[in-house]
Amino acid sequence: MLANVTLDIAPLLGPALGGDAATIEREASRRELDATALTQLLDLALQPFLWEAAAQLGTLTDMDRWDRGYCPVCAAWPALAELVGPEKKRVLRCVRCGTAWSWLILLCPYCGNDDHRSLRSLQEEGGAQRIDVCERCHGYVKAVQSYAATSAVRVVAEDVATLDLDVAAAGAGYKRPGDVSVEGAGIPRLVREGRALRPPG
Ligand SMILES: [Zn+2]
Ligand SMILES: [Zn+2]
């Protein structure tokens, strides 16, 4: 039976946007609701606003200049990377708001590791998909080939359609995100050292 609960979610949208899990769990238990279900409900309620915000921000600023591994709009970790065009430019995608930002191939978005000896790909022979893994933080990012960066809605579908890659990555001992310290999360080594991630231009 479906419970019929009238829920004023407006005061919870701020904590949901900021990823404040403790506040949402407290409110869920106060209202005798399942915390996971409440979190998903809040994320769904936020999604149209995040899509709109991301679309507007995308026209104001060049997202490709963003030099952190988390989303410049909503601070979520990327759900996957698209390998765009014949040159397979790696573009990280946020499934929460749809934002796209380009990223180096040999760079872990979670711990900022750029040592090629500890970065590799798990890939089926001749497959159009792969899983990029980092041996330092044990994080992984799914990667799918794409002709052009796809819409926010397509990214949600793509994330669901590649759940087998999440299962394979978890089975091999990798997680999303990897193990990262709060201070260093998402900051590439070069940026931590005060240097530019990419040459200008
Ligand atoms: Zn986002
Ligand atoms: Zn890493």
User: Count of domains in the chain?
Assistant: 2
Q: What is the mean pLDDT of the chain?
A: 89
Ranking 32-36, 42-46, 56-60, 78-82 by mean pLDDT, the lowest is 56-60
Long-range contacts of 112-120 (CB under 8 A, 24+ apart): 112/69, 112/184, 112/186, 112/187, 112/188, 112/189, 112/191, 112/192, 113/137, 113/189, 114/188, 114/189, 114/190
Ligand 1 centroid to Cα of residue 75, in Å, is: 6
- Phi and psi, residue 28, nearest 5°: -60, -45
Residue 1 has pLDDT above 80, yes or no: no
pLDDT single digits (tens) 68-98: 999 998 889 999 999 999 888 999 999 989 9
Per-residue buried b or exposed e for 56-65, using 16+ beta carbons within 10 Å of the residue's own CB: eebeeeebee
pLDDT single digits (tens) 115-128: 999 999 998 666 78
Domain CATH number, residue 127: 3.90.1670.10
Ligand 2 centroid to Cα of residue 76, in Å, is: 16
Give the pLDDT of residue 66.
92
Is there a single domain that holds both residue 159 and residue 72?
A: yes
Is there a single domain that holds both residue 31 and residue 74?
A: no
Ligand 1 centroid to Cα of residue 118, in Å, is: 27
Selection from 12-21, 38-47, 66-75 with the highest mean pLDDT = 66-75
Which residues hold their Cβ within 5 A of ligand 1, which is an ion? 71, 73-74, 76, 94, 96-97, 99
Give the pLDDT of residue 104.
95
Are 15 and 26 in contact by the 8 Å Cβ rule? The answer is: no
Ligand 2 centroid to Cα of residue 201, in Å, is: 27
| pTM, full prediction | 0.83
Is there a single domain that holds both residue 56 and residue 73?
A: no
Average pLDDT of 164-180? Answer: 95
H helices then E strands: how many in the chain?
6, 6
Closest CA to 98 of 128, 71, 117: 71
Are 186 and 112 in contact by the 8 Å Cβ rule? The answer is: yes
CA distance 94 to 71: 6
Cis peptide before 109 (omega within 30 of 0): no
Asked whether residue 197 is assigned to any structural domain, the reply reads no
Is there a single domain that holds both residue 99 and residue 47?
A: no
Closest CA to 154 of 102, 91, 201, 95: 95
Quickly state the pLDDT bin for 5 (edges 50, 70, 90). low
